[in-house]
Structure 1
């Protein structure tokens, strides 16, 4: 597997990866919903607010993780949201997703990103350093139904300090269906 920053030109392959990966997770509706999210992020979000990383094997994208910029009303912390991530079902259980996220974190850290967040399963994301975070520390952009699923980590290796005020995500993920 070779991890890299996505350079473009393979949007359809990435969209298909997300659409095909998620029906195995819960149901067919989620696959089309997450495929739509990937499409909206890739096609409608400015590159300055989007970071996409892929893992390739024999010329095929086996995994993809997308980060989008988080902004705060009263703060200039450089924070990004991990969502979504997909690993081909046939490639799961081999550490590909974990390695891709670690690679992405290194690139983001080197680019000055201070904090990464996501809304997901702590059992998976704890493997790459995420910990539950109170919405009193960083407010989620939308109302969340699972407070223990709002998780984050500092890429600067110190405790995350509270960020007051409203948090904003990119338009593509600013939809309650994803939260």
Structure 2
């Protein structure tokens, strides 16, 4: 049985291993380092990570961290990054469960928007949309502009004002974008 739970700092080695196994050679070290660094990220607004576990083994991991407006420093929403499922367990809905659990938590917190920089074919299934993201400028020039997407989480509150975004320290590395 697969269970989802909050990631803990003591999970860092197993989280690193998931990302090293799931990503191609060119990206794996940077993404694994990012995933581990985000476990210890200290900001006023919480960064949270979820893991999927089966038979005592970590098999998936996702992080949601706050994004802020450069001009005001106000929180605008969250960004989903990174996400990985160990190759042995891919195509079983584990990534979907992690994303949906994280989005539910953000919705419960009253967050109005979440961003992602990734494959539109994959993230589009969850309602992420490139058009919504166009007015929110990521911290760095994107290598693949089509991958910048956003998802509105609530209709109750208006979306935050468009502008340039900044992220937690661990994501403020140009090579990640």
**If the length of structure 1 is used for normalisation, what is the TM-score?**
0.87
Q: In 2 relative to 1, CA 32–159 (structure 1 residues): closer, same or farther, beyond 3 Å?
A: same
CA RMSD of aligned residues (A): 2.1
Q: Deviation of residue 5 (structure 1)?
A: 2.0
Structure 2: gaps (5+ residues): none
Q: In 2 relative to 1, CA 7–42 (structure 1 residues): closer, same or farther, beyond 3 Å?
A: closer
Match of 1:103 in 2: 101
In the alignment, is the contact (CA less than 8 A) between 2:51 and 2:58 conserved in 1? Answer: yes
The one of 118, 129, 132 equivalent to 1:131 is: 129
Q: Deviation of residue 29 (structure 1)?
A: 3.1
SS in 2 for 1:93: coil
In the alignment, is the contact (CA less than 8 A) between 2:59 and 2:85 conserved in 1? Answer: yes
Match of 1:32 in 2: 29
The runs of 4+ residues in structure 1 deviating greater than 4 Å are 157-162
- 1:61 matched to 2:62: no
In the alignment, is the contact (CA less than 8 A) between 1:19 and 1:31 conserved in 2? Answer: yes
Q: In 2 relative to 1, CA 5–51 (structure 1 residues): closer, same or farther, beyond 3 Å?
A: same
Q: How many residues align?
A: 174
Matching of residues 1-179 of structure 1 within 5 Å: 1-23=2-24, 28-43=25-40, 45-46=41-42, 48-72=45-69, 73-74=71-72, 76-133=74-131, 136-157=134-155, 161=159, 163-179=161-177
Q: Give distance in 1, aligned partners of 2:23 and 2:169.
A: 21
SS in 1 for 2:9: coil
**If the length of structure 2 is used for normalisation, what is the TM-score?**
0.88
Q: Give distance in 1, aligned partners of 2:165 and 2:74.
A: 11
